[in-house]
Amino acid sequence: MSARLRLTLSYAAFLFLAGVAFLALLLYVLHFIPSGELGFAPGNGSPPGFVPDRDDLVEALWPKAWTVLAGLSVIGLVGGWLLAGHMLRPLRRIHRVTQQVAAGSLDHRVRMTGPRDEFRELADTLDTMLDRLQASLDEHRRFAANASHELRTPYAVERSMLDVALADPAGVDVPQLLHRLDRTNRRGTETVEALLALAALDQGRPPARTPVDLAEVTAAVVADLAPVAVEAGVHLRTELGEGDLDGAEPLVRQLVTNLVLNGIRHNTGPGGDVCVTTGTTDDGRAHLRVTNTGPVVPPHLVGTLTEPFVRGVGRVSAGAEPTGSGLGLAIVSRVCRDAGADLHLSAPPAGGLDVRVVFAPPGALTPPAAGPPSGSRPAGGPRAR
């Protein structure tokens, strides 16, 4: 039974019951009229007359009552059908849009106008949900396309080197070939691990938050990456002040690792500089700042650096020899959202990048529901953009 038919029957039944109630009230009033023959004494020259008693009134009432009840039933059915159709018209419009969406077309929206009633709120909520769903799907499609491009590149390079080696085995410089294969394989592995980190951040419940000493975590990360800085000839400096926050320590460590590693890799090479600073703002918020020397980053590219596979020189082509996986700042941005932190990027005119992360003050974030942390996976090693 359709909703329109149920509403129609409900309207008709309500109207019928209202008529029955009115009839019952009328019968109750008639109960006070005396029963039996009634008359009045003639007087003042008036002739004797007839006065109907209760039985006479009831006998005259019943045929009219059944007629009225039948009319109310017909009016309830016809009027209820029309009224239900009018009231359910917004739902039919919403239903058409959901059918089109279910068929795979996410471009349709309800865009309902009129008074802001429950149907308008439902339609607006559906439109908002579809907007977010379409944006998410577009982002995932773009991410999948970029990921397939980035993962295809190292394997294509490896295949080319192996094809050349197989074509002339005698002329192969084996140590150099192994070194190039190792470097290309590391790049592919780094990209896969960064993709897994992003996937882990987008799944499950929010990670469990515990008190984190930002200075202590940053000091440990800098100690781990010091050999990488020495190998690159980059001077790694720290100015670590106290800073406490509530967050998932593995994710905070991953955030610091990515920023410091980015500063080392995207630098001027030997003689470059990376400065890592931690502290607390005047309003009690822990902050992390990583600045590095390096190539000049065009201002219009700064806003795109948190997108997957975007580096300081833009999206790298298949023939280039990029540094890192292009996912470091994408992971940093995602971790900031989980930690309730603000991420600020700027490109100094002299070159390099200035990244500042300001965390929420301790106790400001609502504790997540109990469950396994969703962000423990990304702590498995350094990655960079």
Most confidently modeled range among 31-40, 117-126, 144-153: 117-126
Mean pLDDT is lowest, of 17-21, 291-295, 313-317, for 313-317
Place of tokens 């592919």: 188
Average pLDDT, the chain: 76
Angle made by CA atoms 201, 206, 211, in degrees to the nearest 5: 105
Question: What is the spatial distance between Cα 272 and Cα 261, in angstroms, rounded to a whole number?
Answer: 13
- Say what the pLDDT of residue 239 is: 93
Residue closest to 187 by CA, chosen among 159, 158, 161: 158
Q: What is the pLDDT of residues 259-297, one digit of tens each?
A: 898 888 888 878 899 999 999 998 889 999 999 998 888
Place of tokens 């702590």: 379
- Say what the pLDDT of residue 372 is: 39
Mean pLDDT is lowest, of 34-38, 160-164, 291-295, for 34-38
Contact residues for 289 (Cβ-Cβ < 8 A; gap 6+): 275, 276, 277, 278, 354, 355, 356, 357
Structure tokens at 173: 């410089």
Give the mean pLDDT of 186-194.
67
Determine how many CB atoms are found less than 10 A away from the CB of residue 375.
Answer: 25
Distances (CA, A) of 265 to 16, 18, 113, 294, 314: 82, 82, 54, 9, 15
- Say what the pLDDT of residue 288 is: 94
- Say what the pLDDT of residue 236 is: 93
Mean pLDDT is lowest, of 50-64, 87-101, 244-258, for 50-64
Higher model confidence: residue 186 or residue 79? 79
Question: Which uninterrupted H or E stretch holds 356?
Answer: strand 353-358
What's the pLDDT band for 182 if we cut at 50, 70, 90? confident
Question: What is the spatial distance between Cα 359 and Cα 106, in angstroms, rounded to a whole number?
Answer: 36
The pLDDT of residue 188 is above 80: no
The bridge status of strand 244-247 relative to strand 353-358 is: unpaired
Residue environment code for 170-194, b if the CB has 16+ CB neighbours within 10 A, otherwise e: eeeeeeeeeeebeebeebbebbebb
| Helix, strand and coil percent figures for the chain, each rounded to 5 | 55, 10, 35
Residue closest to 294 by CA, chosen among 199, 162, 385, 365: 385
pTM exceeds 0.85, yes or no: no
The pLDDT of residue 203 is above 50: yes
> Are 23 and 58 in contact, with CB atoms under 8 Å apart?
no
Q: What is the dihedral of CA 168, 169, 170, 174, to 10 degrees?
A: 120
Q: What is the pLDDT of residues 324-366, one digit of tens each?
A: 555 678 778 877 887 788 999 888 888 889 999 999 888 776 5
DSSP state of 115: S
Structure tokens at 338: 């989980």
Question: What is the spatial distance between Cα 325 and Cα 193, in angstroms, rounded to a whole number?
Answer: 9
Give the mean pLDDT of 236-251.
88
